[in-house]
Structure 1
Amino acid sequence: MIDVNIANKLRLNKNVVFLDCRFQLSNPEYGLSEYKKNHIPLSRYVDLNNDLSSPVQKHGGRHPLPNLNVFGNLLGDLGIDHDTIVICYDDGTNDNAARCWFLCNLVGHQYTFVLNGGYKKWMENDFEVTTKIEEVIPKKFEINVQDYMITSMNEVKENGEKEDFNLIDSRELIRYIGEFEPIDRIAGHIPGAKNSFWKDVLNESGEFKTKEELQELFNPFKNGDETVVYCGSGVTGCVNYLGLVEAGYTNVKLYPGSFSDWISYEENVVKREK
């Protein structure tokens, strides 16, 4: 993560690129429309559906990861190489920005940050915004996939209920227990999973909690054990992933397809709380 005050100073550095990740599931045109109205200087827009995901298929969930070669080429087209500082932001929900942060790290980009509090916090500080669309000089981005950051459905199935394996369901509690499911056709959770709602990593102002607060939040999950996070489709789980990293967890993975992928396999068991 990066504080808005530091990000505001860094924008004077020509080797900094902001990625505007604003998006609404209920209105897919919203993000680009808002970007055109105004955005942080040096921003380029990236779309959750078109850039940070690949088309939905039978398996892979509602927001499958993009083809990583294609995503690496996109970063290059946006003027990003391995020396570029990348700052991802959204409206302040931090979920879409965290998804972008995760993908940049997954293809090997080390200098990627989430703007803590997002565009909302930027505007609250009266920092400069613009309608100018930057002229981008493409660069060559060499991908270096960090396979350790992700895990598969089969690995989750094999390890989910083991004692030394942390499986974290990032959805809100009523979805985890199966009381209410507004999106997926089956309600419940993956066997072995414990619930830690992704919004709990944020404080009342929408910023990430301190390291000490995050350590307390994730205390039920032993640091050092393999820790896998999932959500509904692999987006909000990235917020918990980032929260765990900020708390000092060293063996964290994302199950990209998440619950929507899990239930696409008819043989998979789903648990519900009574």
Structure 2
Amino acid sequence: MSQQSSIVSCEWLAGELSNPQVVIIDCRFRLGQPDWGEQAYQIAHIPGAYYLNLDQDLSSPVATHGGRHPLPDLSHLAEKLASMGIVFGETLVVAYDDMRFAFASRLWWLLRYLGHENVALLDGGWTAWEKQGYPVTNDPCKARSGAFSPKVHTDWIVDIEGVKTRKHLPSVVLVDSRDSDRYRGEHEPIDPIAGHIEGAINSPWKQVTNEQGYLLPFEQLQTLWQDYQNAQEIIVYCGSGVTACVNLFCLDLVGIPNAKLYPGGWSDWCSYLV
């Protein structure tokens, strides 16, 4: 594995495909095309990889409030993880997508939120794996026997009331992870209201990787957060609690603690404004 244990290379993973202590999960997805990822998985995926769908597996059904991707039913997710052969606290889970960690990082964060620290992202994702000529298959994966008993970090999330009461505190940094034009309210393709939560700073999630989906050098990642290293608490949000996890991954990688997720994000916040 690479020096940073939460990121692994295609070369490393290719050497671990037969390792029963490594479970690979394909998280490819397209917003607005909820079946696309599973269809892509059925055509070709990394040998031994299972598939998890953002809408069906990594989120709960949408309600009036709570955002477009509420956190999933944790007991159902735990059952699904166990059926992939994952042993809580032991198995290394490697997640990948083809969108610069946009969806794989949601699984990375959820696993750690459930108390399972042994999880990594595949650097470059599916695109790099395929481009470098590593093996692919369309064989479905059979259920395996695992054991997953979550120990949930309930203090890792902040709801809308928590954001309201803490966002202006000098010791708290509120981070909007969306693209800058959405943050500024110049462009809003999804939500009914444009703009951002008052007091939030903008650190777009795409800054964590290059256009090919590879993690930027460690020093550049540190620079992204150098102004906020002394914050007592960092609350991160995006549109619906998905791509914010890319920033949470980055914050963890550079060693900045106390970063929490507002899962509802802008889609939850503005649902109270319409």
TM-score, normalised with respect to structure 2: 0.93
Check if 1:178 corresponds to 2:185. yes
Q: How many residues align?
A: 267
Contact 1:208–1:243 at 8 Å: present in 2 too?
A: no
> Does 1:214 find its partner at 2:185?
no
Q: Distance in 1 between matches of 2:17 and 2:99?
A: 19
The aligned amino acid for 2:118 is Y
Give the C-alpha shift of residue 187 in structure 1. 0.9
1:207 Cα deviation (Å)? 1.0
**Distance in 1 of aligned mates of 2:192 and 2:238:** 15
> What's the offset of the Cα at 1:93?
2.4
- Is residue 2:9 matched to residue 1:3? yes
The answer (yes or no) to whether the contact 1:230–1:237 under 8 Å persists in 2 is yes
Structure 1: runs of 5 or more not aligned: 268-274
After the TM superposition, which residues 66-77 of structure 1 pair with which residues of structure 2 at under 5 Å, given as runs?
66-77=72-83
SS at match of 2:137: coil
User: Could you tell me how far 1:224 is from its partner in structure 2?
Assistant: 4.3
1:165–1:226 contact (8 Å) kept in structure 2 = yes
For residue 149 of structure 1, what is the amino acid of its counterpart? W
Equivalent residue, structure 2, for 1:13: 19
- 2:235 corresponds to 1:228: yes
> Which of 117-126 and 4-13 deviates more?
4-13
Aligned partners of 1:98 and 1:242 also within 8 Å: yes
- Quote the Cα distance in structure 2 between the aligned partners of 1:253 and 1:4: 29
Offset from partner CA, 1:213-233 (integer Å, 9 cap, x none): 111112232344201110001
Q: Using the alignment, how far apart are the partners of 1:252 and 1:259 within structure 2?
A: 18
One-letter amino acid matched to 1:16:
V
**Pairwise CA distance, 1:205:** 2.6
Match of 2:246 in 1: 239
Counterpart in the other structure of 2:261: 254
2:110 and 2:67 map into 1 onto residues whose CA distance is 16
Q: Verify: 1:111 aligned to 2:132, yes or no.
A: no
- Give 1:229's aligned amino acid: V
Contact 1:170–1:236 (CA under 8 A) maintained in structure 2: yes
Where structure 2 has 5 or more consecutive residues not aligned to the other structure, the ranges are 1-6
C-alpha contact (below 8 Å) 1:92/1:117 kept by paired residues: no
Root mean square deviation, CA, Å: 1.4
Distance in 2 between the 1:97 and 1:123 partners?
17
Deviation >6 Å, runs of 4+: none
Distance 1:161 1:3 in 2: 40
In percent, how many aligned pairs have the same letter? 42
1:199 counterpart residue number: 206
Moved more, 226-235 or 132-141: 132-141
